[in-house]
Amino acid sequence: MTQHTESTDVQAENKPGIIRVEGMHKWYGDFHVLKDLNLTIDQGERIVICGPSGSGKSTFIRCINRLEEHQQGKIIVDDVELTDDVRHIDSVRREVGMVFQHFNLFPHLTVLENCCLSPIWVRKVPRREAEAAAMEYLERVKIPDQANKYPGQLSGGQQQRVAIARALCMKPKIMLFDEPTSALDPEMIKEVLDVMIELAESGMTMICVTHEMGFAKTVADRVIFMDGGEIVEEAPPSEFFGNPREPRTQQFLQQILQH
Amino acid sequence: MTEPMMKPPKRNLGPVKWMRTHLFSNWYNSLLTLAVGYLLVTSVGPLLNWLILDATFLGNGPDDCVGAGACWLFVKQRLNFFIYGFYPDELQWRVDVMFALLAVAFVPQFIERFPGRKWLGIFGITGLPIIGYVLIPGGVLGLEEVGSSKWGGLMLTLILAYIGILASLPIGVLLALGRRSDMPIIRGLCVVFIEVWRAVPLITVLFMASVMLPLFLPDGVSFEKLVRALIGITLWQSAYMAEVIRGGLQAIPRGQYEAAGALGLGYWRKMGLVILPQALKLVIPGIVNTFISLFKDTTLVLIIGLFDILGAVQSTIADPAWQNVAIEGYVFVAFCFWVFCFGISRYSQNLERKLDTGHKT
């Protein structure tokens, strides 16, 4: 892949603080999962969140499109605050795409129908137009030839690329990735990461929860390390991997980089 | 897409080898085969004799039924009553039109490549009931009125089953969604509705619809007995349907709800476009089971004085002019029910095959 420099083409419309998280807490019952999270993400930034399992990183990004609700503090996405108001939730979800660990494609619809469903029903795009756009995105993730197959007929890596295309069809301003390669066989991880790297180079605002440290090094603007429901450390990748400050970060990096 | 490199070996055994592996593989299988064979040989012959060879098909009246076989003459002579009940002879063409439309709408559903069968099916659940609503009772468009007390036989059975099936599915879907709703009032109402109706025998429902309901209605407001029975059957059936569908909804992984939500689909679109198509497909066997049992349960309307096909046959058997025709009558009823229920079952199997997209999530 080509070395990525600052994406000057989208610099003009870069908006500071497209996601603002202020003093956010979340509990599951009595269990305090997320503790006083504060984070501001600018448009065009690529953030990688890592941390041991159970650290709350997935829960955190699922709060950003309100798949999980927070009980205290504020989350403001593209100037809309996430509250109980369903209209706010729906308007945020229209602008925020999400890719899941287990793909979650709709098995009763073809690949193309998966991609067109939301543009047609939510964005009210005419079917023909939606299909043309979907084909473009399927080409971008390099599987236009699978458009008329059902998800059950595809490999895991192909399904995850369809899931990325499906999210992109809504033309989101922000993409969330929740461990997108964790459920994949090793030989399929690269094809998905390549698509994600390409997407990052196009200037998309991305938040990725991942264990792929190579991806973090090449793509991220900032790496965030979470443990025990807190943000422990936040730094550019060179600093994060080269010179981690916190002992918990050092320990985590040692464990995952050992082998 | 590509041709396989090598064809798999053929597994054609030939009749002798097939029999050896399937019928006579060891001593107790051989014994079982011989016993079953003996039973078949000894029972099929007499059955065929009674059903066809010794049976009476032609004649003018009870006196012609003298053979040892079945008296199909009885069914033939009373067929009009079995199918139309007391519907006036000269107006029966209206019922015939409905039978024909029913066939036009639903028979093509069994033929894979029938042109426009989807539209015929849609007509079958939209246009057909509207036409029937005008044509069968009459009283409008210059059609002579035929009160529902004159309806009966197979026609009444089909009306009850058809409307019960058609109405209970959507109500069942709404009840199932309601029972899984986050809103406590809606959930509570649905739970109460389902648990009350499901816990009551259909006979009780029919009795209450026909005897008790009029007591609670204000003076001057009254429904026909048939309408009351239909409402009772539909509500009772929708409680069952709701639980079948809820089973399907529970089988859909949470990830599907989340993915639909994350794409910005609101509640109704999420349910209608993503969750229900998968959930209903999963529970087709359960839904069809409920349909078939409803179809047969319609015979219970006899106890509130409606003469469905079983009622029509039963009342005729008691006719002193005909002797010993009960078996013929019941066999005929059984055959009619079997044709329709088997048809529903076959159709559902077609549907399951067609909708199979290698469901994996």
Residue window 147-166, chain A: list those with CB within 8 Å of chain B.
150-153, 163, 166
Pick A107's closest partner by Cβ from B262, B265, B361. B361
Interface confidence (ipTM) of the complex: 0.89
Distances (CA, A) of A217 to A206, A220, A222, A255, B94: 14, 6, 9, 17, 78
DSSP strand pairing (A174-178 vs A96-99): parallel
Task: Determine the pLDDT at residue B81.
Answer: 84
How does pLDDT run across B10-61, given as a tens digit for each residue? 777 778 888 888 888 888 888 998 999 999 988 888 888 888 777 777 777 7
Percent residues over pLDDT 70 in chain A: 94
Asked if the model's pLDDT at residue B66 lies above 80, the reply is: no
Sequence-distant (6+) residues with CB within 8 A of A136 are: none
Q: How confident is the model at residue A114 (pLDDT cuts 50, 70, 90)?
A: very high
- CB-based contact, A90 to chain B, within 8 Å: yes
Rounded-to-integer distance, Cα B334 and Cα B322, Å:
20
Task: Determine the pLDDT at residue A13.
Answer: 59
Q: Do B264 and A106 touch (CB under 8 A)?
A: no
Q: Tell me which amino acid residue A111 is.
A: V
**Strand (E) positions, B124-237?**
none
- CB-based contact, A210 to chain B, within 8 Å: no
Rounded-to-integer distance, Cα A113 and Cα A130, Å:
10
Average pLDDT (B283-306) is: 88
Asked if the model's pLDDT at residue B194 lies above 50, the reply is: yes
Rounded-to-integer distance, Cα B313 and Cα B133, Å:
26
Q: Do B359 and A170 touch (CB under 8 A)?
A: no
Tokens for A244, please give them. Answer: 């981690």
Provide the shortest C-alpha distance from residue A189 to chain B (in Å).
19
Task: Determine the pLDDT at residue A9.
Answer: 43
How does pLDDT run across B111-152, given as a tens digit for each residue? 778 788 888 888 888 888 888 887 778 777 777 777 777 888
Q: Do A108 and B261 touch (CB under 8 A)?
A: no
Task: Determine the pLDDT at residue B219.
Answer: 66
List the single residue in A with minimal CA-CA distance to B258: A67
List the single residue in A with minimal CA-CA distance to B275: A106
CB A62 within 8 A of CB A96: no
Q: Which residues of B touch A207 (CB under 8 A)?
A: none
Task: Determine the pLDDT at residue B4.
Answer: 59
Asked if the model's pLDDT at residue B300 lies above 80, the reply is: yes
Percent residues over pLDDT 70 in chain B: 96
Average pLDDT along chain B: 85
- CB-based contact, A108 to chain B, within 8 Å: yes
Asked if the model's pLDDT at residue A3 lies above 60, the reply is: no
B136 phi/psi in degrees, rounded to 5: -70, -55
Average pLDDT (A96-117) is: 94
Sequence-distant (6+) residues with CB within 8 A of B95 are: B83, B84, B87, B136, B155
CB A76 within 8 A of CB B250: no
A184: left (phi over 0), alpha (psi -120 to 50) or beta: beta
Q: How confident is the model at residue A1 (pLDDT cuts 50, 70, 90)?
A: very low
Q: Which residues of B touch A152 (CB under 8 A)?
A: 357-360
Task: Determine the pLDDT at residue B138.
Answer: 76
Asked if the model's pLDDT at residue B320 lies above 60, the reply is: yes
Q: Which residues of B touch A166 (CB under 8 A)?
A: 263
Task: Determine the pLDDT at residue A96.
Answer: 93
Residue window 244-263, chain B: list those with CB within 8 Å of chain A.
253, 255-256, 258-263
- CB-based contact, B276 to chain A, within 8 Å: no
Tokens for B44, please give them. Answer: 């099929």
Task: Determine the pLDDT at residue B359.
Answer: 55
Rounded-to-integer distance, Cα B45 and Cα B36, Å:
14
Provide the shortest C-alpha distance from residue B191 to chain A (in Å).
25
Q: Do B259 and A105 touch (CB under 8 A)?
A: yes
- CB-based contact, A217 to chain B, within 8 Å: no
Rounded-to-integer distance, Cα B124 and Cα B132, Å:
11
How does pLDDT run across A55-68, given as a tens digit for each residue? 999 999 999 999 99
Q: Do B273 and A121 touch (CB under 8 A)?
A: yes
Residue in the structure block whose two tokens are 């005929």: B332
How does pLDDT run across B325-358, given as a tens digit for each residue? 788 888 888 999 999 899 888 888 888 888 877 6
Rounded-to-integer distance, Cα B249 and Cα B275, Å:
7
Average pLDDT (A159-165) is: 94
Q: Do B262 and A122 touch (CB under 8 A)?
A: no
Nearest 5°: CA angle at B262, between B258 and B263?
120
pTM value surpassing 0.95: no
Q: Do A100 and B358 touch (CB under 8 A)?
A: no
Task: Determine the pLDDT at residue A258.
Answer: 66
Q: Do A106 and B274 touch (CB under 8 A)?
A: yes
